[in-house]
Each structure stands twice: as structure tokens, then as C-alpha cells.
């Protein structure tokens, strides 16, 4: 590929990046997005990559495109997509280097070079497998959050557990709620890298100080259940908000029921 072609590709890539990020009026991209974009462009300019690994280079380009399309305010998603894009870029580099070395092997006739090529090929395949595994885990996370009826909020992903967990004015988890909580514990154990907050809430019936204590006790009861089912205590913060954060009006029975809840929040960081 000649210098003119590579120059044209850089111009097109710059135009695409400008179109994706907006003409200065959109939310600025996180620094990692621009850094990954530079890494991709540098890889694209390597002749041995462009000539010998076009498929891997295309997959890296698509991964960068998905990264640029992510919500810049969703730090966890940006970080996840940036990692996948860098894996794809590294795969393209290694694949290009391996094939270039293999093409020159007939002239070298050196067993040492053959071993080096084999090692690079194995490493590239390992990176490919790592990328596939990361993508499968991302899909699994999405599927399980959907099954648990999780909601994406500005605070993070929220799992809401309502009053079926407790008797009225009680903080002991009911036996009938253990199945639902067991599913939550299994999910959290599947993704041990995610930190969580366990937050208790009440309606505004009764004394405010009493409601505050009750919300703390209910959050603690849920946290203890999760710890007993394998969730590491150091991953979680346990908080009570009493009646201060209603999600519905307290003037109706239905609204009060919605406000009596425990929420498990998966942190973005």
C-alpha cells in the first residue's frame, strides 16, 4: 500500500472521527477514546498489518467504532469497550507481524525464526480467545441483568427488592424471599469485580428516626444474606435512607409499597 493511499486513509479516518464526535458541540470524548483511536491509526499505517492482516484490522476498526459510539458518561461501558478495542488492535499487529515473518521464512531457513513465528501465532490466538471470552461475559451480564429486571440509572445499575422480603415493621428476611435473593447472590458471584451498595428505604408512615433505623436494619439483613451466600463483604457498602428517597407518592397504598424497598446498586467505577 503506497504512501498516497495511507495518507488518504488517514484523512478519511480523521473525517469519520470528526463526524462521530460532532463539530465541537457534543459532549467531549473521554481521553481513553482518543488514545485508542490514535493506537488504531498507528496500527493501520503499518504496511505489514494492512497488507497481511486485513480481516483483523477490520475487526479492530469495528471495535473502535463501537467505542466511539458509547455513551461518554457511562465510564464502565467506555472502559470495557476500550479494553476490547485494544485487544483487537494488538491481535491485528501480531497477526501482521507473524505473516510477514512467515513470508520471509523461506529465505531465512532458520529454525529459530520458525519457532519465533509459532510463538507469535499462539500468542495471537490466545488474545483472540481472550477477546471472545470478554465479549461472552459482556453478553452474559446483559442477559442476567435483564432477567433480574435491573434498571440503568445515573448512579449505576439498580436491582430493586421490595417488601416481599420482610414482614411489616420487621427486618428479618422472610424464608419465601430466599430464592429471589439467592439468584441475586449467584449473579454477584458471577461478576466479582463489580462493587455494590445495599440501600434500605421505607415509606413515610411512622416516626422518621424509626424509619431510618428500620431501613438500615433491612439493608444489613440483605447484606448478611449475600455474605452467607458467598458475596465478599469488602465489595459492599450498606446504607439506610429511611423515608428520604421515595420513588412514588406516599399518599396511596400502592405508592407506600413501592417506597418500602431495598436496592442493590452496581457501581459504575
For the whole model, what pTM was predicted? 0.49
Q: Give the whole-angstrom CA distance, residue 169 versus residue 163.
A: 10
d(CA 50, CA 42): 11
User: Please, where in the chain does CATH 3.30.1330.60 lie?
Assistant: 148-266
**In this predicted structure, what is the pLDDT of residue 189?**
86
Let me know: does 163 contact 261? Beta carbons within 8 Å: yes
> Rounded distance, CA 21 to CA 15, Å?
10
Distance, in Å, from the CA atom of 117 to the CA atom of 96, rounded to the nearest integer, reads: 11
Residue 220 confidence (pLDDT) above 90 = yes
Percent of the chain with pLDDT over 90: 19
Q: How would you label 10-36 residue by residue, b for 16+ Cβ within 10 Å and e otherwise? A: eeebeeebeeebeeeeeeebbebbeeb
Give percent above pLDDT 70 in the chain.
68
Residue-wise pLDDT for 97-149, tens only, equals 777 766 665 555 555 666 666 667 767 677 766 766 666 655 555 555 555 55
At residue 77, φ and ψ (nearest 5 deg) are -65, -40
Q: How far apart are CA 217 and CA 172, in angstroms?
A: 8
Contact 63, 84 (CB under 8 A): yes
107 vs 265, more confident: 265
Task: Report the C-alpha gap between 269 and 267 in whole angstroms.
Answer: 6
In the DSSP assignment, the letter for residue 199 is E
Task: Round to whole Å and give the CA distance between 112 and 188.
Answer: 47
For 148-266, CATH gives 3.30.1330.60
Amino acid at each position: 500500500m503506497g504512501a498516497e493511499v495511507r495518507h488518504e486513509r488517514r484523512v478519511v479516518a480523521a473525517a469519520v472521527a470528526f463526524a462521530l464526535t460532532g463539530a465541537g458541540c457534543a459532549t467531549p470524548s473521554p481521553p481513553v477514546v482518543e488514545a485508542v483511536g490514535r493506537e488504531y491509526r498507528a496500527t493501520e499505517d503499518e504496511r505489514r498489518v494492512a497488507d497481511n492482516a486485513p480481516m483483523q484490522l477490520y475487526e479492530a476498526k469495528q471495535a473502535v467504532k463501537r467505542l466511539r459510539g458509547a455513551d461518554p458518561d457511562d465510564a464502565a461501558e467506555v472502559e470495557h469497550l476500550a479494553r476490547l478495542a485494544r485487544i483487537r488492535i494488538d491481535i491485528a499487529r501480531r497477526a501482521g507481524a507473524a505473516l510477514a515473518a512467515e513470508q520471509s521464512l523461506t529465505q531465512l531457513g532458520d529454525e529459530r525464526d520458525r519457532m519465533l513465528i509459532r510463538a507469535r501465532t499462539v500468542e495471537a490466538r490466545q488474545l483472540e480467545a481472550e477477546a471472545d471470552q470478554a465479549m461472552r461475559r459482556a453478553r452474559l451480564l446483559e442477559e442476567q441483568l435483564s432477567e433480574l429486571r435491573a434498571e440503568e440509572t445515573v448512579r449505576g445499575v439498580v436491582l430493586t427488592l421490595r417488601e416481599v422480603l420482610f414482614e411489616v415493621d420487621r427486618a428479618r428476611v422472610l424464608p419465601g424471599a430466599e430464592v429471589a435473593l439467592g439468584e441475586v447472590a449467584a449473579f454477584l458471584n458471577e461478576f466479582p469485580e463489580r462493587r455494590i451498595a445495599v440501600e434500605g428505604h421505607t415509606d413515610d408512615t411512622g416516626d422518621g428516626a424509626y424509619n431510618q433505623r428500620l431501613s438500615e436494619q433491612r439493608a444489613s439483613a440483605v447484606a448478611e444474606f449475600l455474605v452467607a451466600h458467598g458475596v465478599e463483604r469488602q465489595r459492599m457498602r450498606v446504607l439506610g435512607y429511611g423515608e428520604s428517597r421515595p420513588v412514588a407518592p406516599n399518599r396511596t397504598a400502592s405508592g407506600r409499597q413501592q417506597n418500602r424497598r431495598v436496592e442493590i446498586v452496581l457501581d459504575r467505577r
